[in-house]
Amino acid sequence: MPEILIAIDAEAENSGELTLASPATAQMVSALTQAISASPPAPPAPVRAISASSLTQPGIASALRAGEALLCPLTLNLPDTVSFPAQRTYQTCRDVPGLRRHVEQLGYATGAGEHWLPAVLTARGPLYGEVICNPDYYSAKISPQPQQAGGERINAISGDCKKYRQPAHVSDSWRQQLYEFAYRLLRSLDAPPAAYLVQFGFQGELICFDRLWPYPAEPAVASIGVQDPDLFSCHWYCLTGRPILDLTVPHSAECQLHS
């Protein structure tokens, strides 16, 4: 199997070491690396984390073109010249204002959100994980209030990964709305198999779309040791065509959402 390159937000030092954009990035890389190493065939393929900016280096670019390397980005900040199967999807997700306009054309509200629906798109169809939330957001146990659209900075997710929790309780009515929306969105984008995070919020009684992450972004760390398989394993299975029969999580919920 070709070398697997995990592209991340990082700065490459002269020594060859990487200065990561955040501690969360290290957790994401570790989780994906472990998922790859635990999957057949054995011995596992070599895995290397590289800065996204280094993808334009001649040696790396030629290895990708020749099929000698497989690219698994954990960032949207990729050079436009890098070609890989999910390139169009990543570019679409990076254009947050444009994607929100697309969602509005589908008939849905848009705005800032603090919740994430895992949508694992396999070759046979989507599987939906339990919602991930920030329990501190609900510490006062109040219903979400209407939110205004925030800034369009790509690296909107940052901070301590421990603040994310899965599962969050969602009523059946909200759950069905989320599943329907995620299905329509991914289908409208002709999205390839991957583990996606649909970031959303609430505007009164409406679900509003914030943005789409085409890989297990920072909140996905909450799935490790909780969801089986976790979202990083799901992502690798999807990229390599391995089947996923179901996503299971404990029944207890750690934070309460809009009911």
- Map residue 19 onto helix, strand or coil: strand
Per-residue pLDDT tens digits for 59-85: 999 999 888 999 999 999 999 999 999
* 228 pLDDT above the threshold of 50: yes
From the number of C-beta atoms within 10 Å of its C-beta (0-12, 13-18, 19+), residue 12 rates as middle
- Bridge-based pairing of strands 3-8 and 47-51 is parallel
Per-residue pLDDT tens digits for 1-33: 789 999 998 876 555 567 776 788 899 999 999
Amino acid in the structure at residue 175: R
Runs of H (alpha helix) within 199-258: 231-239
- C-alpha 44/C-alpha 36 separation (Å) is 7
Specify whether the CB–CB gap between 229 and 122 falls below 8 A.
no
The per-residue DSSP string of 156-175 comes to: ---S-GGG-BS-EE--HHHH
List of residues 6+ apart from 230 with CB closer than 8 A: 31, 35, 220, 223, 224
Q: Is 107 left (phi over 0), alpha (psi -120 to 50) or beta?
A: left
Per-residue pLDDT tens digits for 155-214: 334 445 568 999 988 888 899 999 999 999 999 999 999 999 999 998 888 899 999 999
Amino acid in the structure at residue 113: G
Instruction: Please give the sequence-ordered ranges of beta strands (E in DSSP) within 21-84, or none if there are none.
Output: 47-51, 69-71
Nearest to 28 by CA among 161, 121, 129, 167: 161
* 253 pLDDT above the threshold of 80: no
List of residues 6+ apart from 19 with CB closer than 8 A: 10, 11, 12, 13
Specify whether the CB–CB gap between 170 and 131 falls below 8 A.
yes
Per-residue pLDDT tens digits for 73-130: 999 999 999 999 999 999 999 999 999 999 999 999 999 998 999 999 999 999 999 9
* 151 pLDDT above the threshold of 50: no
Q: In this predicted structure, what is the pLDDT of residue 249?
A: 87
- Element of type H or E holding 115: strand 115-122
Residue 110, both tokens: 């848009």
